[in-house]
């Protein structure tokens, strides 16, 4: 109910106010009750006279009701503020001032109304609970919270490709340089950074596919990578590729058996089987750095580090790809000059750079999260280049 802007304290009631409705209580409020009620009881002794009816308005008597109505309207009614104090319910803080009150201040007691934003449904009340419809679709296991919601991004027409960025490139460059230095020192020195690479590969691939935490699948893939490393070190260098392929075949069979024992739906079992096999395969083929010649492994790892770092530079896509491939070939020539590979390092560096860019592109697909960038974005360029390093190293060496 809007506040009554009654007359000011210094204004006089004018004759034209006779027909205006005064903010007084209806006459039937208390008079009807008085007529229908029983005779009032005798006042209690000890109470002051009039204390029992102090909250009631002054009653002029029944004979006043039979007077002419115009004469009653001409009588000056009490001010609104005094009337409210007499018999209307009390308002916290008192009534607002009635003299020259701006419109904004007259409605200051109303609850604030939130302005409707463009595109918002006006039927939705701001205080009522609404059904949440912005969640990502359910997945097979774990949380798939991403930096960008895929469904919303597809509806807006945004590209599903989000490059890992400079932070992942720096980590990849550091890990690649560690692999290059460790490969120059020997196979056993190469084990430490290689195991870190295989762990990142196994975890990053599951996270890239929206399966997290997927501890069993990550542990299975990582175990296969460690078995492949041990097999390569246990056999003659000539049989290193056979050890890797044999381990991969055994792990595919083991993964298939484990998925057949699952009680999930057929579609979920197939999806889990493909993700587990791909993760194990990527982690196992990283052992190609162990099977390759030490010089080829040094050149290939250094070329991947330079290519990924150059790809992260703020350049357009086409020039950035060209610059990164040229940098990889140049790194192959530079590092190859320090090893028995020689100028053949350019070919190793170029092919390794191409594989690194492919792995980087895979890690950027389907609206990846920051965690995907820091795992798959770091490991996939180096993992994808491992087979090429072995094969081109055999050709050049």
Distance (Å, whole) CA 19 – CA 74: 9
pLDDT 10s digits, 25-36: 555 554 444 444
Average pLDDT over all residues of the chain: 76
pLDDT band at 89 (very low <50, low <70, confident <90, very high): low
More confident residue, 202 or 136: 202
Beta carbons of 303 and 347 less than 8 angstroms apart: no
Beta carbons of 372 and 363 less than 8 angstroms apart: yes
Closest CA to 200 of 163, 167, 172: 172
Closest CA to 355 of 290, 297, 303: 303
For residues 131-135, average pLDDT: 43
More confident residue, 94 or 291: 291
Distance (Å, whole) CA 59 – CA 29: 12
**What angle in degrees, to the nearest 10, is found between the helix axes of 317-336 and 345-363?**
140
Token output for 132: 């949440």
Phi and psi at residue 161, in whole multiples of 5°?
-95, 120
What is residue 311's predicted lDDT score, i.e. its pLDDT? 95
Of 10-19, 210-219, 365-374, 388-397, minimum mean pLDDT range: 10-19
Neighbours of 353 (CB within 10 A): 31
pLDDT 10s digits, 246-265: 999 999 999 999 888 888 88
Rg from Cα positions in the chain: 42
What is residue 197's predicted lDDT score, i.e. its pLDDT? 96
What is residue 157's predicted lDDT score, i.e. its pLDDT? 72
Task: Quote the DSSP letter at residue 163.
Answer: -
What is residue 262's predicted lDDT score, i.e. its pLDDT? 80
More confident residue, 90 or 153: 153
Closest CA to 282 of 184, 366, 375, 393: 375
Q: Which residues contact 199 (CB under 8 A, 6 or more apart)?
A: 222, 225, 283
What is residue 171's predicted lDDT score, i.e. its pLDDT? 95
**How far, in Å, are 25, 55, 300, 355 from residue 50 at the CA level?**
21, 10, 105, 100
pLDDT 10s digits, 156-180: 777 778 889 899 999 999 999 999 9
pLDDT band at 285 (very low <50, low <70, confident <90, very high): very high
More confident residue, 200 or 367: 200
More confident residue, 122 or 95: 95
Q: Is the peptide bond before 54 cis (omega within 30 degrees of 0)?
A: no
Distance (Å, whole) CA 135 – CA 112: 30
Concatenate the DSSP letters of all residues of 202-218 into one string: HHHHHHHTT--S-HHHH
Question: Is the pLDDT assigned to residue 17 strictly greater than 70?
Answer: no
Sign of the torsion formed by the C-alpha atoms of 347, 164, 189 and 216:
negative
């Amino acid at each position: 109910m809007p506040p009554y802007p009654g007359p000011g304290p210094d204004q006089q009631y004018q004759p034209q106010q006779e027909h205006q409705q005064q903010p007084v209580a209806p006459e039937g409020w208390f008079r009807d009750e008085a007529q229908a009620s029983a005779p009032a009881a005798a006042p209690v002794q000890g109470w002051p006279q009039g204390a029992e009816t102090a909250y009631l308005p002054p009653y002029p008597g029944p004979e006043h009701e039979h007077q002419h109505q115009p004469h009653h309207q001409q009588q000056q009614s009490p001010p609104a503020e005094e009337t409210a104090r007499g018999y209307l319910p009390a308002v916290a803080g008192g009534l607002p001032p009635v003299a020259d009150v701006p419109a904004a201040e007259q409605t200051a007691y109303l609850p604030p109304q939130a302005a409707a934003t463009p595109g918002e449904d006006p039927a939705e009340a701001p205080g009522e609970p609404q059904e949440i419809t912005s969640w990502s679709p359910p997945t097979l296991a774990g949380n798939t919270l991403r930096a960008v919601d895929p469904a919303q991004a597809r509806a807006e027409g945004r590209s599903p490709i989000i490059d890992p960025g400079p932070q992942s490139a720096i980590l990849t460059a550091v890990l690649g340089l560690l692999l290059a230095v460790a490969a120059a020192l020997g196979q056993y020195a190469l084990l430490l950074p290689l195991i870190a690479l295989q762990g990142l590969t196994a975890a990053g691939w599951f996270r890239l596919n929206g399966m997290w935490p997927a501890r069993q699948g990550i542990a299975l893939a990582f175990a296969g990578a460690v078995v492949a490393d041990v097999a390569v070190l246990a056999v003659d260098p000539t049989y290193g590729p056979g050890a890797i392929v044999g381990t991969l075949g055994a792990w595919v069979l083991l993964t298939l058996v484990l998925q057949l024992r699952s009680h999930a739906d057929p579609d979920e079992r197939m999806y889990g089987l493909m993700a587990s096999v791909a993760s194990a395969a990527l982690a196992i083929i990283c052992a190609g750095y162990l099977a390759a010649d030490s010089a080829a492994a040094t050149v290939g790892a250094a070329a991947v580090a330079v290519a990924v770092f150059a790809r992260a530079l703020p350049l357009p896509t086409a020039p950035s790809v060209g610059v990164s491939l040229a940098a990889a070939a140049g790194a192959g020539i530079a590092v190859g000059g320090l090893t028995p590979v020689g100028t053949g390092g350019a070919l190793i560096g170029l092919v390794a750079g191409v594989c690194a860019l492919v792995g980087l592109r895979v890690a950027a697909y389907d609206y990846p999260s920051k965690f995907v960038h820091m795992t798959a974005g770091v490991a996939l360029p180096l993992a994808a280049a491992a087979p090429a390093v072995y094969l081109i190293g055999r050709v050049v060496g």
